[in-house]
Amino acid sequence: MRGTASLLLAATALLTAHAAKADEAAVTLKDGPGRDVVEANCAACHSLDYIRMNAPFMNEKQWEAEVGKMINAFGAEIDAANTKTIVDYLARAYGPPG
């Protein structure tokens, strides 16, 4: 348990340091239904760069698991309707083609 707490603390520090850069360029996500919900919910905790960085690796089920992790492991306060909107947007805009 102690190792998990240390890892979580290190990850939080890394995310905070990354998001706190004063010269960070604004990230623009692909246009589409649900983008506003993603920006409002996801950017509350981390840079939107993480979406684009993970995009090549994530299909709909993986995006669903990732959003679930943000809610269950990290405490993101996202309601069920927004969860579906976020997953749908991410799968459509950043999931693999087809």
Asked whether the predicted pLDDT for residue 27 surpasses 70, the reply is: yes
Residues 6+ apart with CB under 8 A from 35: 29, 89, 93
Q: Is residue 7 part of a domain?
A: no
Give how many domains the chain has, as a whole number: 1
Instruction: Return the percentage of the chain with pLDDT > 70, whole number.
Output: 73
Q: What's the confidence (pLDDT) of residue 16?
A: 56
Give the domain range for residue 87. 23-94
Q: Is residue 43 part of a domain?
A: yes
Q: Is residue 13 part of a domain?
A: no
Asked whether the predicted pLDDT for residue 25 surpasses 70, the reply is: no
**Could you give the CA distance from residue 46 to residue 54 in angstroms, rounded to a whole number?**
13
Q: Is residue 16 part of a domain?
A: no
Looking at every residue in the chain, the average pLDDT score rounds to 83
Q: Is residue 29 part of a domain?
A: yes
pTM for the model:
0.72
Q: Is residue 71 part of a domain?
A: yes
Contact in structure between 67 and 86 (CB atoms under 8 Å) = yes
Asked whether the predicted pLDDT for residue 24 surpasses 70, the reply is: no
Contact in structure between 33 and 84 (CB atoms under 8 Å) = no
